[in-house]
């Protein structure tokens, strides 16, 4: 008789979910590609943390925008791979055999990867503050400046929503390439190629821009901050709910 998995031994819903979380954490730590992706994310977030400190002087908005787009893309790609990789590697069946309630697997991925991004964001902000203070003390502002705090809070919310959208896209497409393509179209392209700003303002990429930046001109047609939060969170929630429904109805 084989030993039961941690999830199989858990008798309660909370125990089953904690077992699923532990399993996802093991996957995160054991996959070299995922570890490498998070190392790259950590480096970008450290740069982002340092450039935040130039926001009060108005000189760092361009650098923050570029670093934020890169962070979004890396976070989204990692989240897509966390979900779609199991289907492309044919390990999804084993995962769902160990955890029959598929929504537990989905929410465990959200918790582990969302939590990892938040931890890296805090560490990146701290590392960026130290680097900016040491390398450019004449332009580095206070990490407690209202603009810096707003950028940090907005980035945290934005990246968690990006994790949710990426995992949902990976679950729905079951293809790393397809999932990354979908998230690229939703997150990065609208912020770079704005051809219909009043329409693309409601896409996640430009909602993130409205959430983090306060100095965009009226011609950009960005949403007000609270509306941007509602749009971004709403789209992330809808994406996860659709992924959960589709995941439960599939054979694998």
pLDDT tens per residue across span 18-51: 888 888 888 888 888 888 888 898 888 888 777 7
Cα separation, 191 vs 215, whole angstroms: 15
Spatial contact of 159 and 75, defined as CB atoms under 8 Å apart: yes
Spatial contact of 155 and 49, defined as CB atoms under 8 Å apart: no
Length of the chain: 252
pTM of structure: 0.85
The token pair that represents 145 in the structure block: 């400046």
Cβ neighbours for 71, distance < 8 A, ≥ 6 positions apart? 41, 44, 45, 48, 155, 159
- Give the pLDDT score at 62: 67
Please say if the pLDDT value at position 8 is more than 90: no
Cα separation, 41 vs 64, whole angstroms: 14
**Lowest-pLDDT range, 29-43, 49-63, 170-184?**
49-63
Cβ neighbours for 57, distance < 8 A, ≥ 6 positions apart? 139, 141
Q: What is the pLDDT of residues 186-224, one digit of tens each?
A: 887 777 776 777 778 888 888 888 887 766 666 667 888
| Segment 220-246 mean pLDDT | 91
Cα separation, 162 vs 208, whole angstroms: 9
More confident residue, 139 or 90: 90
């Amino acid at each position: 008789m084989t030993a039961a998995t941690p999830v199989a031994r858990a008798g309660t819903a909370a125990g089953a979910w904690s077992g699923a979380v532990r399993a996802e954490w093991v996957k995160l730590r054991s996959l070299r590609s995922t570890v490498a992706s998070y190392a790259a994310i950590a480096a970008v977030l450290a740069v982002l943390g340092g450039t935040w400190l130039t926001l009060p002087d108005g000189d760092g908005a361009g650098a923050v925008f570029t670093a934020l787009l890169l962070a979004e893309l890396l976070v989204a790609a990692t989240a897509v791979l966390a979900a779609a990789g199991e289907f492309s590697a044919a390990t999804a069946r084993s995962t769902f055999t160990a955890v029959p309630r598929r929504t537990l697997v989905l929410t465990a991925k959200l918790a582990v990867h969302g939590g990892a991004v938040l931890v890296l964001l805090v560490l990146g902000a701290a590392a960026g503050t130290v680097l900016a203070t040491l390398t450019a003390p004449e332009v580095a502002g206070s990490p407690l400046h209202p603009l810096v705090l707003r950028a940090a809070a907005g980035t945290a919310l934005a990246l968690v929503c990006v994790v949710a959208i990426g995992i949902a896209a990976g679950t729905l497409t079951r293809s790393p390439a397809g999932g990354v393509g979908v998230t690229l179209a939703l997150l990065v392209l609208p912020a770079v190629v704005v051809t219909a700003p009043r329409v693309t303002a409601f896409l996640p990429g430009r909602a993130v821009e409205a959430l983090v930046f306060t100095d965009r001109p009226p011609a950009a047609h960005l949403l007000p901050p609270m509306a941007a939060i509602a749009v971004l969170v709403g789209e992330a929630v809808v994406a996860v709910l659709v992924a959960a429904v589709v995941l439960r109805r599939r054979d694998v």
